[in-house]
Amino acid sequence: MHSSATPPGLAHAADVLSGQLRAHLGKLFVLLRPRTGPIARRFRSWLRAHHFDARQVKALCSITPAAAAVVMGARTPAAFFEQVEYNGRRLAKLDVAPEQVIDALRHYDSLLDPWLGRLPPAAARDLAWARSQLQFCIVLALNNAFYQVREAEAHTFYQLADAGSQAGSLQDLIGRYLKILKTFCRADAARLQLFHAGGRPSPRMMPGLARPRLLAGASGRKWILDAELRRRYRCFWSIPLLREGRLAGVMQFGFAVQYRWLPRELHLLCAAAERCLRAAERVKLMADLAGREEQVRCLGEHMMRIEEEERRRISRELHDETGQSLLCIRLQLELLERMSQNGLRARVVEIRELTEHTIIEIRRIIAALSPAVLEQLGLAAALRQLTNRFRSLYPGRVRLQISASLPRLSRETETTAYRLVQECYHNIAKHSKAATVNISLRSTDELLRLSVHDDGVGFETGAAPGRNSTGLTGMKERVALLGGRFEIRSRLRRGTTIRADLPLGAIQARPAKRAGNTALQRKQDVI
């Protein structure tokens, strides 16, 4: 483990050593030093018999009173407690439980008991008190060390979970994970490769990468996939990412010096590798889903553009062909009317009036299909024309408010807003029986906000789809295609409110044609 700065807890352990306690500890250490060799051998023998490995034995022997006698004799108490915390962190990472450490220290105390029992009662009592105080300080430092390790592990897992939830792409996720794990294991460099996102290693390398490996020297470098990592560093950790027992990727860390992992570090890295693989698969699925949703959205926009183009084509053909033909028929009928006798003239007048009514209907259909005023004068003028036409046919009171600062918007935004109001008028005329209709259109820096409210019969929004649900569904889809927000509120006999927020998008460069209406310069234009 790399050395680290002395944590704040060390000072507290050293501070409890009073002058009297230090004096008694000095006497204890003087008497203890000649006997440390035999006691240490018996202590090591006991540790090996209880299946502690060499690294655990070395760490445990570094936190005993004998170790305190050596360090405090040459340095300060704080230096010894720094050694205790350092070895406490090693023991935690070596997967030694706190209870095992306490049992080992108690056994060491039992080895000192026969020797203390041979001292005069007063001296034995003073030294026993000094030994118990020293043990208390050691346990205090060990608790701090174990807490530091567990806190670092918990913080690392929290960061990994946070990175998995915030990552916007697979590369972003990999970058976040490597930064966290590189800091945790104090590596000098880190790489992560998912084999489904890049080239797979050769078949002869796959078995060697399928298990955690500590690699060093020329023989170890051949297992490192990244050429820069392989060239620059001396020691490497390789951690596999396994999916159902099969190798799906690998994390590899580079160190400038020889550095062995400790068991808890390895356990955390293996758990992190599993978490990383799950998060990567989740991010990839989300990216695929987002891509498919974007494809659907683009298809919807394309279909909407095709629909509007088809409306314009039909409108042009009705105007250029059918409309002109009907006008010619009407002119011929007028001529025939002048030349006819009284009995025939009545029939000709009836046919002419029917033709004129058909021309009016054709013009209405043309305006509904593709209002020319929307193309020429913009959304505000088109909505005023639509509202005037609706007001002439509907018995209720209709009020339209349009912000005077409304800019000329993109064709898609203006068309969508116009179709929303058109559909609202259609539903109100057909179903609402409202006495009052209020429509508001205003813009912010980023949104076009449309609100339509009527005091009609209303309906239950949570009920099964009804006769007017197709129109509402179409409105929702139009708003969704522009990335906007659609909201509908309605209750029986309480009226209906529809709100839509449309992103402004690109503002059209062409200026809107104004027909000299000075009322447009007012703060609010109210019809």
For residues 222 and 252, is the Cβ–Cβ distance under 8 A? no
pLDDT higher than threshold 90 for residue 240: yes
Confidence tier at 341 by pLDDT (50, 70, 90): low
Tens digits of residue pLDDT in 264-312: 999 999 999 998 888 888 888 877 787 777 777 776 666 667 666 766 6
pLDDT at 481: 80
Residues 6+ apart with CB under 8 A from 525: 380, 401, 402, 403, 404, 519
pLDDT higher than threshold 80 for residue 340: no
Q: Tell me the mean pLDDT in the region 450-462.
A: 88
Tell me which residue of 143, 120, 140 sits closest to 132, measured CA to CA: 140
376/240 Cα distance (integer angstroms): 64
Secondary-structure breakdown of the chain: helix, strand, coil percentages, each rounded to the nearest 5: 65, 15, 25
pLDDT higher than threshold 80 for residue 523: no
pLDDT at 463: 60
Please provide residue 234's backbone torsions phi and psi, each rounded to the nearest 5 degrees.
-100, -30
Tokens for 80? 């010894």
Most confident of 292-306, 370-384, 410-424: 410-424
Please provide residue 377's backbone torsions phi and psi, each rounded to the nearest 5 degrees.
-115, -10
Confidence tier at 101 by pLDDT (50, 70, 90): very high
Cβ of 511: how many Cβ atoms within 10 Å? 8
Confidence tier at 317 by pLDDT (50, 70, 90): low
pLDDT at 342: 65
Q: What Å distances lie between residue 375 and 293, 314, 411, 490, CA to CA?
A: 30, 16, 8, 33
Half-sphere exposure (CA, 13 Å, Cβ side) for 37?
A: 1
pLDDT at 306: 67
Tens digits of residue pLDDT in 43-97: 999 999 999 999 999 999 999 888 888 887 777 788 888 999 999 999 999 999 9
pLDDT higher than threshold 90 for residue 17: no
pLDDT at 11: 44
Tokens for 365? 């259909």
pLDDT at 69: 81
356/354 Cα distance (integer angstroms): 5
Tokens for 146? 């174990």
Query: If you ran DSSP here, which 8-state letter would residue 51 be given?
Result: T
Query: For the chain, what is the mean pLDDT?
Result: 81
User: What residues does 237 pair with on adjacent strands?
Assistant: 214, 253
Residues 6+ apart with CB under 8 A from 389: 364, 367
Share of the chain above pLDDT 70, in %: 82
pLDDT at 437: 94
pLDDT higher than threshold 50 for residue 7: no
Tokens for 272? 């992190």
Tens digits of residue pLDDT in 173-222: 889 999 999 999 999 999 998 887 556 788 888 888 999 999 987 788 88
492/490 Cα distance (integer angstroms): 7
Domains of the chain: 9-162 (no CATH), 170-285 (3.30.450.40), 372-526 (3.30.565.10)
174/160 Cα distance (integer angstroms): 11
Tokens for 138? 């050691």
Confidence tier at 435 by pLDDT (50, 70, 90): very high
Q: C-alpha 466: how far from its chain's center?
A: 37
